[in-house]
Amino acid sequence: MSDLGVAVVIEDDLDMRNLLVGVLRQSGFEVHTASDGREGVAAVREIRPDVVTLDVGLPDIDGFEVLRRIRQFSNAYVVILTGRTEEPDLLEALQAGADDYITKPFRPRELRARIATMLRRPRPQTLDTTAATSPSEPLPPQAGVGQSVLRHNGLALDYRKRTAAVGGKGVELTRSEFDLLHELLRASGAVLSRAELVRAARGEYYREDACISDSDERAVEVHIGNLRRKLGDNPESPLWLQTVRGAGYRLASPSTPGGSA
């Protein structure tokens, strides 16, 4: 196995497939390829890769359906690569379980940087339901600095183990969802803008001077919506994720649920 592990490229266009193979091999991956969706699903099931690049416009089944099938058995990092730029495609990709979404044409350096950022942040695992969790423990000021486990209103998040639980019951989160939730917990109630949360989700690739696109910010909204659904948070009376209109998001009050959605 190569230094960074194994990658599967699911792409029907031969030139693009060869480009992706070259980029990933230069980055240190052992690379396998598939030219259609069914072949790609079978390859991911058999090879169990660390990273998958997935085209949307495949000749048999579209990439979104491929992603949904992969997510039934694989926790690999999945990067959607597509020429489609419409917002509904971005939303569908993230809701289906994609970790990132890059439009073609793309810069090989950008793909390498985004994959490297993902790999530096291991995937969250389900928290052992026997773990002790306070059902209503307020988050102390500046929590997260030197702390591994953060707790708030029955939610426990362990950054080192990359686990999350509500009332002791494990919650499965994607890498981006986990990182956004961690950032909001660390902020201890301070409002974080969508741009700040984009940087939290994308890591080192987005520096302070990097341009944050509308699609990036919309992706954060999708991730927040998915987090609310997985946590069982009511946006009308939130325990954890509160929208601050025109500004961004913050952690809800530790005392009484409430606030704008």
Confidence label for 139 from pLDDT (cuts 50, 70 and 90): very low
Residue 54 belongs to what H/E stretch?
strand 51-55
In this structure, are 23 and 54 located in the same domain?
A: yes
Residue 163's φ and ψ, nearest 5 degrees, are -125, 155
Q: What backbone phi and psi angles, to 5 degrees, belong to 221?
A: -60, -40
Partner residues linked to 81 by β-bridges: 55, 102
Asked if pLDDT for residue 6 goes beyond 50, the answer is yes
Verify that 142 and 65 share a domain, yes or no. no
CB 219 within 8 A of CB 195: no
Same structural domain, 184 and 78: no
| Of 145 and 183, the one with more pLDDT | 183
Q: What does the pLDDT average to over 58-75?
A: 92
The C-alpha atoms of residue 60 and residue 12 are separated, in whole angstroms, by: 10
Domain total for the chain? 2
What's the pLDDT band for 31 if we cut at 50, 70, 90? very high
Distance of alpha carbon 52 from alpha carbon 67, whole angstroms = 10
**pLDDT score at 218:** 81
Helices 63-70 + 87-96 axis angle, to 10 = 20
- Asked whether the beta carbons of 98 and 142 are under 8 A apart, the reply is no
Burial tier of 40 (Cβ tally within 10 Å: 0-12, 13-18, 19+): buried
Is the pLDDT at 8 greater than 90? The verdict is yes
Same domain, 89 and 143: no
Strands 5-10 and 163-166: unpaired
Same domain membership, residue 212 and residue 114 = no
Looking at the domain assignment, is residue 41 inside a domain? yes
CA 125, chain centre distance (Å): 13
Tens of pLDDT, residue by residue over 172-199, are: 888 788 889 999 999 989 999 988 888 8
Alpha helices in 28-86 (DSSP H): 37-47, 63-70
Say what the pLDDT of residue 210 is: 57
Identify the domain boundary among 94, 119, 144: 119
Q: Among 119, 148, 171, give the residue marking a domain's end.
A: 119
Give residue 138's pLDDT band: very low, low, confident or very high (50, 70, 90): very low
Distance CA 32, CA 101 (A): 20
* Together in a domain, 37 and 133: no
What's the CA gap between 179 and 185, in Å, rounded? 10
For residues 7 and 221, which has the higher predicted lDDT (pLDDT)? 7
What CATH number does the domain containing 19 carry?
A: 3.40.50.2300
Q: Domain check: are 191 and 138 in the same one?
A: yes
Domain that holds residue 173: 125-251
What mean pLDDT comes out for the span 127-155?
53
Judge whether 257 lies within some domain: no
The SS3 call for residue 70 is helix
pLDDT value of residue 190: 93
Average pLDDT over residues 25-54: 95
Whether the predicted pLDDT of 107 surpasses 50: yes
The reply to whether omega before 122 is within 30° of 0 (cis) is: no
**pLDDT at residue 61 tops 60:** yes
Residue 92 lies in a domain: yes
Q: Are 119 and 99 in contact (CB under 8 A)?
A: no
> For the residues 9-34, what does the mean pLDDT come to?
94
